[in-house]
Structure 1
Amino acid sequence: MDDAQPITTLSGQIVQMGHLDGSLIERMRHEALTAPAPWKAEYGEFQSGGWWTTSLMNASGDAADVRIADGSARPTTLLQHMPATAGLLACLGLNYMWVRLARLEANAFLWEHRDYDELEQAERHRLHIPLQTNTSAFLVTGGTKVHMDGGRIWRLTPTYAHGVCNLLGPDRIHLIADVYTDDAYARLTKHAQEPTVDERLPTASEADLSEHLATARRLADLGYTAAAEQLLLRLFYSFAMPEGTAYDLIAGLHTALGDAEASKRWTAAKSTLLALAS
């Protein structure tokens, strides 16, 4: 297991920016819930299931095209059904690479990962506008959990390892915009500040990890291997741990079970999801 210490400061990884009008957010939420969205379950390797996206702006103009890539974004047919949302995006005047709606169901997780590694080298940023959320939905980054509450724009730096969960529901729905740096973006972020409310996770001790690994082993011995893996993956949302610890624990579990192929698979998953050099 890596002896490195977990990051225990947000260090600009997530900041809160301008407030938005409550009535506008409510109109946008209504549009997100009622528009004929072709929700897609993409990036299966990043999630437990229960994470769905649909595109509002991208290079193809196809709302069902949800695997992000660089390009000059244009409105999809879905955005034509969402005038309040389209109006805000136009008003912000940003240089959009991709704009999506993302819906995270109850008891759903996006596993620890980094983003943007597969894209071209360019200065870009990710903005979140929560349209529907609840206090059991939170993001973890740098050993800290943050609930992105509504009524404002948030900026996430997704090149840091992070993950998201929605424990109890209802569905968490965010508008997510990936944008390139320009003057409009600089104006938007001029008064950015770190969250006023966040919670540092307790640091995982060796005893904590050993206890959970033993529980996972018992599950696997009973034939519930997928449940054992998910138990270990969810530790990221309960403890501050060195980066990739959950993946190391799963690989170690499979080694102990005598499944070298599965151990290699999870070691490779760690490299892929955290964009580590092979």
Structure 2
Amino acid sequence: MGDAQQTAALSGQIVQLDGLDGQLIERMRHEALTAPAPWKAEYGEFQSGGWWTTSLMNASGDAADVRITDGTARPTALLRHMPATAGLLDELGLNYMWVRLARLEANAFLWEHRDYDELDQVERHRLHIPLHTKSSAFLVTGGTKVHMAGGRIWRLTPTYAHGVCNLLGPDRIHLIADVYGDDAYQQLAGRTKEPSAAERLPAASEADLAERLAAARCLADLGYVDAAEQLLLRLFYSFALPEGTAYDLIATLHTALGDIEANQRWTAAKSKLLALVS
């Protein structure tokens, strides 16, 4: 894919919106790192472990309620400990569905997936504000690696297959706001900028995939089945792959191992995580 094609493809998936004041970001970062947040592990089927969230605004008003649903968001008690963050959310004037902090630990992965498929089909958008991050934390979407740098609001379209990893640390902390489409959102969305540091991942050859599958089989034969599965899942972050390839490879691995139940489980996981119609 050429640079122009890559930019066009990415523009529907991830873009930068407004820049934010550096001092405000510092205050928000301090709040995120020090507020008494009830971090919760949720969506275990999407991750390797190390993904934690806590809610700032949602329909229940409970910061420990982190399973995303449609609704009219109201502040949780946690947001009262974060005045700079609350001030920015108020200033943006958006129609919030859910606002949360998301923390991804070092050597942690969110596997390839889509979001929003389980919600009512109304216009909604996902905004990211990076608060604490380094370049070893990045998003992959459309076979392209993007580090969401601090200092700006980012818009991600999560109905495209995507995944996130944090290879080295420190913990990546983002404020994530799911918002409904309205005039305030349209005004914000009218000021877009393409990602400044997007890197197209290399295509995987049949030999590349065969080599990784053989390595996974060796691990599985030694009894390290989880490690074998994770080796294949991580291919999504190294190569530009056809959608769902990592899940197909794991299913193939289990077929070779004679484990039909595991093959069926991973085939079902692919359909669930990527919202595929059978």
Measured in 2, the distance between the counterparts of 1:194 and 1:162 equals 17
Q: Which residue is 1:104 aligned to?
A: 104
Amino acid at match of 2:260: A
Once the two structures are superposed, what CA deviation does each residue of 1:127-153 show, in whole Å capped at 9, x if it has no partner? 000000001000000000000000000
Aligned counterparts, 1:42-57, within 5 A: 42-57=42-57
- Look up the SS of the partner of 1:10 in the other structure: helix
Structure 1: how far apart are the matches of 2:79 and 2:119?
A: 24
**CA-to-aligned-CA distance 1:2-31 (integer Å, 9 cap, x gap):** xxxxx9632420000100000000100000
Q: What is the aligned partner in structure 2 of residue 123 from structure 1?
A: 123
Alignment check: 8 A CA contact 1:12 1:194 kept = no
Corresponding residue pairs, total: 272
The residue number in structure 2 matching 1:69 is 69
Task: Give the equivalent residue in structure 2 for 1:236.
Answer: 236
What is aligned with 2:83?
A: 83
Does 2:21 correspond to 1:21? yes
SS in 2 for 1:122: coil
Q: Which is worse superposed, 190-199 or 132-141?
A: 190-199
Higher helix share: 2
Shift in Å, 1:193: 2.1
Q: Which residue of 2 aligns with 1:4?
A: none
What is the one-letter code of the residue matched to 1:178?
D
Which residue of structure 1 aligns with residue 133 of structure 2? 133
SS in 1 for 2:33: helix
Alignment partner, residue 216 of structure 2: 216
- What is residue 174 of structure 2 aligned with on the other side? 174
Question: Which string of whole-angstrom CA distances, capped at 9 and with x for unpartnered residues, describes residues 163-217 of structure 1?
Answer: 0000000000000000000010011111112212100000011000000000000
Q: What secondary structure, in the 3-state scheme, does the structure 2 residue paired with 1:212 have? A: helix
Of stretches 102-111 and 189-198 in structure 1, the one that deviates more from structure 2 is: 189-198
Which position in structure 1 is the counterpart of 2:30? 30
Secondary structure, counterpart of 2:10 in structure 1? coil
TM-score (norm 2): 0.97
Which secondary structure does the structure 1 equivalent of 2:196 belong to?
coil
Partners of 2:214 and 2:145 in 1: CA distance: 26
Instruction: Give me the CA root mean square deviation.
Output: 0.9
Moved over 2 A (4+): none
The answer as to whether partners of 1:201 and 1:240 remain within 8 angstroms in 2 is yes
Partner of 1:267: 267
- Distance apart, 1:78 and its partner CA: 0.3
Identity over aligned pairs, percent: 84
User: Which letter does structure 2 place at the counterpart of 1:106?
Assistant: A
Give unpaired runs (5+ residues) of structure 1. Answer: 1-6
Matches of 1:247 and 1:11 in 2, distance apart?
26
Structure 1: distance between partners of 2:88 and 2:241: 38
TM-score (norm 1): 0.97
- Return 5+ residue gaps in structure 2 as ranges: none
Q: Distance in 2 between matches of 1:219 and 1:167?
A: 21
Which residue matches 2:249? 249
Question: Which residue is 2:189 aligned to?
Answer: 189
- What's the offset of the Cα at 1:52? 0.1
How do 1:125-164 and structure 2 match up within 5 A?
125-164=125-164
